Copies of this chain bind each other. A is one copy, B any other.
Amino acid sequence: MRADALRNRERLVEVAQSAFANNGIETSLEEIARQAGVGIGTLYRRFPRREDLIAAVLAERYLKLTECALTLAQHREDADTALTQWLTLLVEHMAIYRGLSLAVKEAIHDQSTALGRTCKEMMDAATALLERGQSQGTFRTDVNFYDVMSLCSGIVTAVERRAEKRADSDVPPVDPYLLLDVVLKGLRSGVVGGGAGG
């Protein structure tokens, strides 16, 4: 890769990072290119899809989450605590850019996108946490990790929306940790078999 290309790439990721943080993940790509001082063509050559840019921005963060999951899996202690800790991190991570939780949910099953592939590794590592708990009888066995991710993504989306409307009316604040607690409580095995028939 040529030196100027590398420089531009880095600059784009840098600008995108702060643009996503300020304006959400839907920030105009032309705006990002302008701020980075490159042409729109340059941005598209390097990041053909918006997700590719998102994936680049998130790369380190995902790596950290993956490592964290691996570490938690190795310390073969309390499976409940392990999953709780990791999901807490995940929820905090997904709340960083407005719109991110949805983008992740979109990409989660799609190995053809950079975001999807990056996600995959992390998912694999974290899946182990759930499955360990399941084999120990800590968590109910009829849910898979996609289900858990989906619920967490729902939590983050709720927080995002609520934050946007905060100026409005009498909207109460939402506590992601509370919602996560509800989900985790629902995941624990206890007396299995709730009531929602299907």
Residues of the B chain whose Cβ atoms lie less than 8 Å from the Cβ of A182: 140, 143, 147, 151, 183, 186-187, 194
Q: A157-B153, A162-B109 are in contact. Are A184 and B186 (CB under 8 A)?
A: yes
Whether A158 sits at the interface, judged by CB under 8 Å, is: yes
Residues of the B chain whose Cβ atoms lie less than 8 Å from the Cβ of A147: 158, 174, 178-179, 182
Which of A105, A162, A175, A196 has most chain B Cβ within 10 Å? A196
Bound together, the chains give a CA A123 to CA B108 distance in angstroms of 31
Residues of the B chain whose Cβ atoms lie less than 8 Å from the Cβ of A18: none
Stretch at the interface among A38-46, A62-70, A165-173: A165-173
A33-63 interface bits toward B, Cβ cutoff 8 Å, 1 = contact, 0 = none: 0000000000000000000000000000000
B186 touches A142 (CB 8 A): no
A105 touches B161 (CB 8 A): yes
Chain A interfacial residues counted at CB < 8 A: 53
Whether A81 sits at the interface, judged by CB under 8 Å, is: yes
Please give the count of copies of this chain that the complex contains: 2
Residues of the B chain whose Cβ atoms lie less than 8 Å from the Cβ of A144: 172
- With both chains docked as a complex, state the minimum distance between the C-beta of A183 and any C-beta of chain B, in angstroms: 6
A150 touches B179 (CB 8 A): yes
Q: A174-B146, A195-B84 are in contact. Are A109 and B151 (CB under 8 A)?
A: no
Whether A111 sits at the interface, judged by CB under 8 Å, is: yes
Bound together, the chains give a CA A140 to CA B176 distance in angstroms of 16
What are 13 of the A-B contact pairs (CB < 8 Å)? A81-B195, A84-B194, A105-B157, A109-B169, A140-B182, A142-B178, A153-B157, A181-B186, A182-B183, A182-B186, A182-B194, A184-B194, A185-B185
Q: Other than the known A84-B194, A151-B158, A185-B185, what 10 A-B pairs have Cβ atoms closer than 8 Å?
A: A111-B168, A143-B178, A144-B172, A147-B182, A150-B179, A154-B157, A175-B198, A178-B198, A181-B186, A181-B195
